Amino acid sequence: MKELSDMMSFRPSVKVVDATLRDGGLVNDFYFPEGFEKALYEANLKAGVDIMEFGYKADKDLFDVDKFGPCKFCDDDFIRSIVGENNTDLKIAAMADVGRCNYKRDIIEKAESPIDIIRVATYLNQIPAAIDVIEDCTKKGYQTSCNIMALSTGQESDIKVALDLLGKSPVDILYIVDSYGAIYPEEMARVCDMFGEFAAKYNKKIGIHAHDNQKLAFANTIECVGDGVDYLDATYMSMGRGAGNCAMESLLGFLTNPKYNIYPVIKFIEEYMKPMKEKGVVWGYDLQYLLTGVMNQHPRTAIAFTKEKRKDYTNFYKEITSQE
């Protein structure tokens, strides 16, 4: 059993990461209401959030710039239009998705960019390519993380090989990513132990990015806090792909560090998140996402079910379990 002090005290090393623009952008093609990004930046500053992820560094040769909002591409000029020189303690991050970014062209030297951290998203079978991105970004002066997606589908032996390879790389943070919302807190504790072994061996930090398919994103995140994980991803009002993520308002309500302030988060939700949802932007827990989480499946089928406005949950269950 965890020491109560691990859950009730605070560690100065804990960092709260706002992923609203990046994961949330997946549900609206990154088209946010006018003034949204600036207001979110200011809310994060007031709330004491440590890191704000602005979106993806997506390859414009692969994705049509006319079909997505600016957070899909995170051009430096766009970020500067929001944060200026960002003379604050808040660090700016962007995600480089392995195979979907042109990092050598689009990620410039850190000294010339408003971005501080590049978060490299990868599947287990892409680890060598991910390390190439990490090495390139490190040489350019960025702090880096490696976010291993779909972790719940990987074999423990493969995960350990990946962590050993990453441990030998210059990456700063090893990220646990429960892409399918399939991991339970007891399992998450074991995953933390495994990541912790390699983090200690290679002097790395650990992060958690949880999805809410089984309404466990918050539970899994605070499980990780008690297990020594320092980088905690959250989104305002849980906005994220499919069932969404750990809610920022829940996380800041839990953390005892006096530097965090939940009030600016509540104010932003009232002024921006609630109206956006009322206008028809769809995300959050629903039965179809629960079912893909239980089955440890990618939520793409549940996302399609949602877009088609289907309500035949029993048929959907039969489809994803191949039952006649």
Structure confidence by residue, pLDDT tens digits, 310-323: 999 999 999 999 84
CA distances for 218 relative to 39, 201, 245, 251, 296, angstroms: 24, 28, 8, 7, 18
Structure confidence by residue, pLDDT tens digits, 61-118: 999 999 999 999 999 999 999 999 999 999 999 999 999 999 999 999 999 999 999 9
- Report the mean per-residue pLDDT for the chain: 96
Q: What is the pLDDT of residue 9?
A: 63
Q: Cα separation of 160 and 84, whole Å?
A: 41
Q: What is the pLDDT of residue 324?
A: 43
* Element containing residue 44 per DSSP (H, E): helix 36-47
Q: Cα separation of 306 and 213, whole Å?
A: 13
Cα 6–Cα 269–Cα 74 angle in degrees, nearest 5: 85
Q: b/e string for 49-67 if b means 16 or more Cβ within 10 A?
A: bbbbbbbbbbbeeeeeeee
Q: Cα separation of 232 and 247, whole Å?
A: 11
What is the mean pLDDT of the segment spanning 247-265? 96
Neighbours of 204 (CB within 10 A): 21
Q: What is the pLDDT of residue 256?
A: 86
What is the mean pLDDT of the segment spanning 144-151? 98
Radius of gyration of the chain (CA): 19
Q: What is the pLDDT of residue 322?
A: 84
What is the mean pLDDT of the segment spanning 28-48? 98
Q: What percentage of the chain reaches a pLDDT higher than 70?
A: 97
> Both tokens of residue 199?
């983090």
Q: Phi and psi dihedrals of 164, rounded to 5?
A: -70, -45
Place of tokens 């480089």: 96
Residue 4 has pLDDT above 60, yes or no: no
- Of 323, 255, 256, 317, the C-alpha closest to 289 is 317
- According to DSSP, the residues that pair with 145 across neighbouring strands are 119, 173
Residue 193 has pLDDT above 50, yes or no: yes
Residue 236 has pLDDT above 50, yes or no: yes
Residue 210 has pLDDT above 90, yes or no: yes
Place of tokens 């005290």: 9
Residue 232 has pLDDT above 90, yes or no: yes
Instruction: Give the pLDDT band (50/70/90) at residue 150.
Output: very high
Q: What is the pLDDT of residue 319?
A: 96
